[in-house]
Structure 1
Amino acid sequence: MVDQMWAGVRERVGVLGGTVGFFGAATHGFRLDPVLAPAEVEALEARLGTTLPDEYRSFLLQVGAGGAGPCHGVYPVHRTGDGWAWSGDGADLADLDRIAEAFPTTGPDPEALAVLVAQRPDEESFEGEDEYDTAMEEWDDRVGELLWAADRTVGAIVICHIGCGQREWLIASGPERGRIWSDNRVDDLDLAPLLDPDGRPVTFARWYLDWLDKAEQHLRQQAG
């Protein structure tokens, strides 16, 4: 069933090559990287110490190793001199040595985060720019310790860049395995599961195929 969901998807993406004015198209150009061979996926999983979520695994084998997709595209995964890596803005935030660990579904205490956000330095309350910059650096360090701790994103892979430092992650291990989580920590918000209009968690396939449907609809509207 998982294998069948990707039937014809690579060809559908190819048809969209001339689409303009669709968010992210200027970045990925509706181009897909070549698919990975089964032996390559197995080597990647050996590097991670765990199997990839089924929908994403079959995507790599049948659609592509990355490229055209939601927002600015699906981050490609490829061999490197050290083994394997995903490439893209912030892809290195994922600790590939800890992908097999369960992704934590809860982050910092919301009340503690709210208090810290409320304490953000107000530039107008400082006499000089140097004093304000120092206060902001100290505040950023405190936010970093709370929101950007390495343990916060174990078991997950950065899969896509939305823009302005916002990203989306594919959860690879733990109870949220196979689902997409949004990362708005740049706006002082914790990671949160991506939900559909009915409040249901969005899996990798749903995330990708919904994007493809919207892109095709945009192309039809362009054609009149």
Structure 2
Amino acid sequence: MREQQWNGVRRRVAELDARPSSDKVFGSLRHEWALEDPLADDELAELEAQLGVRLPEDYRDFLTRVGAGGAGPAYGVFPVRRVQGRWRWEGDGADLADLALLARPFPEHGPDPEAVEALLAERPDEEDFDEIEEFDDAAEAWDERWDALMFAPERTAGALVISHLGCAQREWLIISGTHRGTVWSDCRVDDTDLAPLLDDAGTPVTFARWYLDWLDQAEATARRPRTGE
């Protein structure tokens, strides 16, 4: 049953590509409804051997039955490719994930909220400086502290960046730990910590749910007539 959920997905994506109105779907002009070829079983085995971790089951099935990446939520699912003998994910922000940390459990908690709030209160304001150079120096020093607090590699241990929403907002797939197999939103650019995607019932969204819900919504969007038609 688990694998059957991917039956017909490549065909559905191809049918969306053939619809003139499918360009209404957000991100489609970027991924252009193209899907990479699926991974062979031996390629998946090699990938996981290099990573030292088994990927979540529904994501494994997606890679071998649908494609190694391509058309999907937002600007698409980041493809995983072998480059000079090493496997890696490619996309805007894919390098934020430390592949050497994928076997470590994803942290149960992010930075201390009080520490975040205190640092935000110290963010430099240009109006407080007489010289723009002084403000630039202060802002650069503050950014370094912010990055050390919010973007430390340990924050996203056990997770992969799988999609880019634009404006430095991304989504992660948790590979290891108690949240394994769920998708998390990353809006740290907007001063908020990573958070799990939840459905209407408050249940964490799995990779399969994340992708298949997007596909359903994309088909619904493409069926709607354009304004004025």
Q: TM-score range by the shorter chain?
A: over 0.9
Partner of 1:105: 108
1:182 aligns with 2:179: no
Partner of 2:58: 55
Separation in 2, partners of 1:119, 1:48 = 39
Separation in 2, partners of 1:172, 1:104 = 11
1:71 aligns with 2:67: no
Give the alignment's Cα RMSD to 1 decimal. 1.1
Deviations 1:166-214 (A, max 9, x none): 1000000000000001111111211111111221100000000010001
Structure 1 position 6, deviation (Å): 0.3
Partner of 2:8: 8
The match for 2:43 among 23, 40, 43 is 40
- 3-state secondary structure, aligned to 1:105: coil
Partner of 1:199: 202
- 3-state secondary structure, aligned to 1:20: helix
Stretches of structure 1 lacking an aligned partner (at least 5 in a row): none
Separation in 2, partners of 1:121, 1:196 = 38
The match for 2:176 among 173, 178, 181 is 173
Separation in 2, partners of 1:112, 1:186 = 17
Stretches of structure 2 lacking an aligned partner (at least 5 in a row): none
Structure 1 position 22, deviation (Å): 1.4
Runs of 4+ in 1 over 6 A off after TM superposition: none
- 3-state secondary structure, aligned to 2:68: coil
So what's the TM-score if we normalise by structure 2? 0.95
Relative to structure 1, is the Cα distance of residues 11 and 59 closer, same or farther in structure 2, using a 3 angstrom cutoff? same
- 3-state secondary structure, aligned to 2:24: coil
Structure 1 position 138, deviation (Å): 0.9
Separation in 1, partners of 2:94, 2:178 = 22
The match for 2:164 among 139, 158, 161 is 161
Structure 1 position 82, deviation (Å): 4.3
- 3-state secondary structure, aligned to 1:162: strand
Q: Which amino acid aligns with 2:117?
A: A
Structure 1 position 112, deviation (Å): 1.0
Relative to structure 1, is the Cα distance of residues 109 and 141 closer, same or farther in structure 2, using a 3 angstrom cutoff? same
8 Å contact kept, 2:24–2:222: no
Structure 1 position 152, deviation (Å): 0.6
So what's the TM-score if we normalise by structure 1? 0.97
Structure 1 position 222, deviation (Å): 3.1
Identity %: 57
Q: Which amino acid aligns with 1:13?
A: V
Q: Which amino acid aligns with 2:15?
A: V
Separation in 2, partners of 1:222, 1:37 = 39
Separation in 1, partners of 2:2, 2:102 = 22
- 3-state secondary structure, aligned to 1:159: strand
